[in-house]
Amino acid sequence: MGYWTYCYADINKKRSTVESMDYDGRKPVVLALPDGTFLTENHYFGYGDICGYDVLELVVDWNRHTAEAVAIIEKHLADCYEEQRIKTEKNDPNDEFRLRVLKGEIAQFEAIHNWLNSPDGTPLPKGIEKREVGIAIATYSWELEMLRYPIKFVKNTKYPYDRIKGYSDTTQ
C-alpha cells in the first residue's frame, strides 16, 4: 500500500484545500474535534494515526447515528444494486467474478447500514472492523462533504471545529 495522508480543511469554504499536510516528521499535525477540542501530534507518521487514534475510527464515533452517514451507505448500496442489475441483465460470463464480489460488498454495506442504525453498545457485525466503516463513509470527497462531522486537519488551534467550514480530503 502506498503512503497517503490528508489535505488541510478549508477554513472559509465547504471543501478541502489542495495543500497536503506533506508529512516531514518535523511539524505538528492538528485534528479539530467536533467537541471543540484538538488532537495535536508532534511526530505524525501518516495514514491517519494521530495521538494513538485512527482518524477513520474517530469519524465513525462522531457520525454513528447521523442520517448523513446512513445516507452515504444507502448510496453505496444503490450503486452496488444498480451495477448488479446491469451485469445480471447483460449475462456476460466475464462478469461472474464481479457479481460475486458485488454480493459480498452488498452484504457488508447492509451490515454496516444496520449497525449505524442500531442502539449504542451493539457490537460491530462479525468480520467488520470500525476502520472499515470509516473507509465506507469517509474516503471520497462527496462522502466527506455529506458527513455531519467530517475529518478536519488544520495547521493550528486558532479555529474550533464548528468554525472550520471545510473538510480534509485524502491525498496520496
Q: Where are the chain's structural domains?
A: 5-171
Burial letters 65-82, b for 16+ CB under 10 A, else e: ebeebbebbeebbeebee
CB 147 within 8 A of CB 72: yes
Q: What is the pLDDT of residues 22-81, one digit of tens each?
A: 555 567 788 999 999 999 988 777 777 889 999 999 999 999 999 999 999 999 999 999
CB 157 within 8 A of CB 12: no
Q: What is the pLDDT of residues 68-125, one digit of tens each?
A: 999 999 999 999 999 999 999 999 999 999 999 999 999 999 999 999 999 988 999 9
Q: How many Å apart are CA 171 and CA 7, to the nearest integer?
A: 6
Sequence-ordered alpha helix ranges (H) in the chain: 55-63, 67-90, 96-116, 130-137, 141-146
